[in-house]
């Protein structure tokens, strides 16, 4: 199957933030709308997440418990919606992609109402997320 046929559109653009509430206020001030907030517990503390609708795109704001470096390229990944994460990964493998970051997709049944995803990298190290909301 052709990889392009499996894509449903842009899922979100992830952005690291130093201060989640300040970032939410900023995007709301310039016309964005908070959709959801969530938390992922990590060994270093809670990772805060928020989905913000902004100018027709969804931003995933991420505040890590250990601050991420804020340099050029603080957009850690782009997400692409797919109908079937496994089928999309298989098609990408057939197309020669061998840079998946985990052996299997990740299923997070409680995050943002449930999702499954699988990350791979592009030739310059950019991370691309195959995303299906449950």
Q: What is the pLDDT of residues 38-88, one digit of tens each?
A: 999 999 999 999 999 987 889 898 899 987 776 655 677 888 899 999 999
pLDDT band at 15 (very low <50, low <70, confident <90, very high): confident
What whole-number distance in Å separates Cα of residue 114 and Cα of residue 116?
7
pLDDT digits (tens, 9 = 90+) for 110-121: 999 999 999 988
The Cα angle at residue 82 between residues 80 and 83, in degrees rounded to 5: 165
Report in angstroms the alpha-carbon separations of 68 from 18, 47, 125.
8, 11, 16
């Amino acid at each position: 199957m052709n990889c392009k046929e499996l894509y449903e559109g842009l899922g979100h653009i992830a952005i690291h933030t130093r201060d989640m509430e300040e970032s939410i206020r900023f995007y709301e001030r310039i016309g964005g709308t908070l959709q959801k907030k969530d938390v992922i517990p990590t060994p270093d503390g809670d990772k805060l997440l928020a989905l913000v609708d902004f100018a027709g795109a969804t931003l995933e704001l991420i505040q890590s418990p250990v601050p991420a470096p804020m340099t050029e390229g603080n957009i850690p990944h782009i997400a692409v919606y797919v109908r079937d994460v496994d089928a999309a990964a298989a098609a990408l493998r057939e197309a020669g992609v061998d840079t998946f970051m985990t052996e299997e997709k990740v299923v997070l049944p409680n995050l943002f109402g449930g999702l499954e995803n699988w990350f791979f990298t592009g030739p310059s190290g950019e991370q691309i997320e195959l995303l299906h909301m449950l």
